[in-house]
A and B are shown apart, each in its own frame.
Chain A
Amino acid sequence: MAGSQTQLIEGLNALTAGLILLTAFGMVATRQVQGVLRFFVVQSAFLAASAFLIGFNRGSIHLLVLGVVTIAAKVIAIPWVLKRTLPGDVYERREINQAINIPSSLLLALMLAIAAEFLVSPLLATTPDPVIHANLPIGLAGILIGAYSLIARREALPQLVGILAMENGAFFAGIAIAPDLPLIAELVIAIDVILIAVVIGVLTRNITQTMGTTEAASMSELREEHQPWR
């Protein structure tokens, strides 16, 4: 009975892994700034679910606390902080000119996911633990795809979400391979992430107020006068 329960929890954990990869692709595929943020929130919720499942399975209160911290920080605090600091029109924006268009971006994201699976496969051969088999490749894929969207996106908010998605990926791999990391370290990371969101939010707000845009591409030149046609 206990064995089948463990199997079910491992299965559900693998399900969250699949959904996290899916939301990572979603973040690359969406044009709307608000949509990117929503995908991030959903991904963080799945991350917390995975932490709960693994924590329950291994009887580690520590991971359960981490799950609660993840929900508090990423599902509730970060969207709230961004909503407070950023002017509303940043959310409604659609990103028209990405550095690389969306179908090619998706193909590159797929390549990164394949690379992640390929890179961790020798590591996976050393352990039969199904939790690590589910979390490690997809966590690495999350890091790579987050880094990619940080590079390819041109709007400030999706770039921020790219950083946060990288953190999500690292976290997702981390809870499987290093469940006994000191709690204080994880707490510091969680607070750090909120601080990043605050700093970038305030910065973006100031940039929007002076430049009227948050598009990184139109800020490539250092000029003093205001150029509304840019």
Chain B
Amino acid sequence: MTRTILYNLIQLLFVIGFGPLYAGVLSRFKENVQSKRGPSIFQPYRDLWKLFHKDEVVSSETTWIFRFTPYLVFIIPLFVASLIPVLTDYPLAFAFMGDMLAGGFFLALAGFFAALAAVDTGNPYGPMGASRTRMVGFLAEPVFMIVFFTVSFVAQSTIPYIVQKRWVASPAAFFSPAHILLLIAFFMLILAEGGKIPVDNPTGHFELAMIDESKGLEYSGRGAALMKWGGQMKFLVLTCIFLNVLLAPWGLADDLQPGHVLLAIPLILFKILLFTVILVIIESSLAKLRLFRISEFLGAAFIISVAAMIASIFSTSAV
């Protein structure tokens, strides 16, 4: 019991520690693809360090929501990380708290408060970004739900550990058409939720075109650091769900030995590195969609996820 609590803490430290590194590697690769040298992969850590040592300025017009939100945005990915398999393929001490739906609700809560805080400032760009994020969010919502339905049809459960075991145990289920369609739909969802290129440009500095970034414009100092770090951890957690539960459910520690748990860390970092390459190829070869084309992008994700559900229903009823 004490061991699983310890591993759970290691898991949280993994998410806290490697979130900025993931963002750094991603931006470095992107610059390299554009034949620039790019910043060091440790630049996000330096940015966070700098922001933590700066004074924070808070407008006197804002309410408690504005101050409270950075802490929430920082904490929520950690809650989600303790529910999902990051390093181990068996549930750890705090995994009893919820299933994948609970993780979705947690992330939605953070998104809700971030949108409220953006409106709270009265900055004209904040509410614009908040409303756009909500638009992307409500278009992504049905896809999320159908993906969860499909997963629960296939694995008879919404608990991520059981889902992960299901793909490992049965190659027939792993290669089924439902699985590949599910993967594509969830990948498109990650691009939309993480503010990646076909939907949003994460490196853009043009306020009118921002979707995700403009919510944090009013933050400075510690608040900005927490918002930034929280966003990076959220993306790492989403990637972990995608890689460890759906795409490549191997390489996780399967027993309580500390050596195996520590060995899982480089394996997962390697998986994330490969995933980063794919992300960079997509981000560098596509152009950002116009705002009203986003509905088409997520509509396509919805179609694919429903096709996955139909395929899984008919294949399970036949067998």
* Chain B residues touching A, majority SS: helix
Contact assessment for B314 and A137 in the assembled complex, using a CB-CB cutoff below 8 Å: yes
Q: Does A18 contact B (CB under 8 A)?
A: yes
Contact assessment for B304 and A125 in the assembled complex, using a CB-CB cutoff below 8 Å: no
CA distance A83 to B42 in the complex (A): 48
Q: Does B315 contact A (CB under 8 A)?
A: yes
Of the candidates B178, B306, B315, B317, the one having the most CB atoms from chain A within 10 angstroms of its own CB is B315
Contact assessment for A22 and B184 in the assembled complex, using a CB-CB cutoff below 8 Å: yes
Q: Does B156 contact A (CB under 8 A)?
A: no
Q: Does A15 contact B (CB under 8 A)?
A: yes
Contact assessment for A18 and B180 in the assembled complex, using a CB-CB cutoff below 8 Å: yes
Q: Does B296 contact A (CB under 8 A)?
A: yes
Interfacial chain A residues near B175, Cβ < 8 Å: 10-12, 14-15
CA distance A19 to B183 in the complex (A): 11
Q: Does A163 contact B (CB under 8 A)?
A: no
Of the candidates A15, A18, A102, the one having the most CB atoms from chain B within 10 angstroms of its own CB is A18
Interface residues on A, range: 20 to 34
Q: Does B274 contact A (CB under 8 A)?
A: no
Interfacial chain A residues near B171, Cβ < 8 Å: 7-8, 11
For B202-244 the 0/1 string (1 means CB < 8 A from A) is 0000000000000000000000000000000000000000000
Contact assessment for B300 and A22 in the assembled complex, using a CB-CB cutoff below 8 Å: no
The stretch that binds B, out of A36-44, A107-115, A153-161, is A107-115
- What's the minimum C-beta distance from A56 to chain B, rounded to whole angstroms? 16
CA distance A145 to B178 in the complex (A): 18
Given contacts A113-B310, A133-B315, A133-B318, contact A138 B177 (CB under 8 A): yes
Given contacts A14-B172, A18-B177, A130-B172, contact A110 B314 (CB under 8 A): no
Interfacial chain A residues near B184, Cβ < 8 Å: 22
Instruction: Choose from B174, B304, B315, B317 the contact partner of A25 (Cβ within 8 Å).
Output: B304
CA distance A22 to B171 in the complex (A): 20
Q: Does A106 contact B (CB under 8 A)?
A: yes
CA distance A138 to B307 in the complex (A): 11
- What's the minimum C-beta distance from B306 to chain A, rounded to whole angstroms? 6
Interfacial chain A residues near B178, Cβ < 8 Å: 18
Q: Does A175 contact B (CB under 8 A)?
A: no
Q: Does A143 contact B (CB under 8 A)?
A: no
Name the residue on B nearest A101 (C-beta): B296
- What's the minimum C-beta distance from A111 to chain B, rounded to whole angstroms? 10
Q: Does B181 contact A (CB under 8 A)?
A: yes
Interfacial chain B residues near A10, Cβ < 8 Å: 172, 175
Given contacts A15-B175, A133-B315, contact A21 B181 (CB under 8 A): yes
Contact assessment for B318 and A110 in the assembled complex, using a CB-CB cutoff below 8 Å: no
- What's the minimum C-beta distance from A78 to chain B, rounded to whole angstroms? 25
New contact pairs (4) apart from A10-B172, A22-B180, A117-B311, CB-CB < 8 Å? A18-B178, A21-B311, A102-B296, A110-B303
Q: Which residues of B contact A (CB under 8 A)?
A: 171-172, 174-181, 184, 295-296, 299-300, 303-304, 306-307, 310-311, 314-315, 317-319
A-B contact pairs, 26 of them (CB 8 A): A7-B171, A7-B172, A11-B172, A11-B176, A14-B172, A14-B176, A18-B179, A19-B180, A21-B177, A21-B311, A25-B303, A25-B304, A29-B296, A103-B295, A103-B299, A106-B300, A106-B303, A109-B303, A113-B307, A117-B311, A121-B317, A124-B318, A133-B319, A134-B176, A134-B177, A137-B314
